[in-house]
Structure 1
Amino acid sequence: MTALRHDLNLARPDDVYNLIVDAHKGLDDAQCRAFDARLILLLANQVGDEAAIREAVDAALAGLVPTA
């Protein structure tokens, strides 16, 4: 059984996307990476389900080619 929710769970997903993109404005690359790491950890804690987080990591990595 999958732990990761695959159905849309946001009333206004475009607004959430824009919120996250806009939060990066004015940040340099290091600050963007720090922001992303903080946001990921805060949201992972909010999810609170390790199995779902593992599935999300796998889904996010799917199709990406690792760089050396």
Structure 2
Amino acid sequence: MPRLELNPNFTDPDAFYAALTDAHRERSEDESERINARLILLLANHIGEQQVLEEALILAARDAEEAR
């Protein structure tokens, strides 16, 4: 069973962060939300494994609750 990769796995995290912030620069809040939603769906499709996606959702929701 595939597991969610939680160890750093970026080839260039700084470049990804720069590209992500550039994609949002000078966008409205609604446009940024659409970008994020589309990015999530594209990456979820790439991952494809339901169990991995559900694990990611559980962790993201838990982390959001802990941040309150």
State the TM bucket, normalised to the shorter chain: 0.7 to 0.9
Structure 1, unmatched stretches of 5+, are none
- Measured against aligned partners, the alpha-carbon deviations of 1:6-64 in whole angstroms (never above 9, x if no partner) come to 22221111211221122101110111111100010001001111111111111112232
Runs of 4+, deviation exceeding 3 Å:
none
Q: CA RMSD in A?
A: 1.6
**Cα pair distance change 1:63/1:7, threshold 3 Å:** closer
User: Normalised by the size of structure 1, how large is the TM-score?
Assistant: 0.81
User: Normalised by the size of structure 2, how large is the TM-score?
Assistant: 0.81
Query: Which residue of 2 is the match for residue 43 of structure 1?
Result: 43
Query: Which residue of 1 is the match for residue 54 of structure 2?
Result: 54
Structure 2, unmatched stretches of 5+, are none
Alignment length (residue pairs): 65
- Percent of aligned pairs with the same amino acid: 34
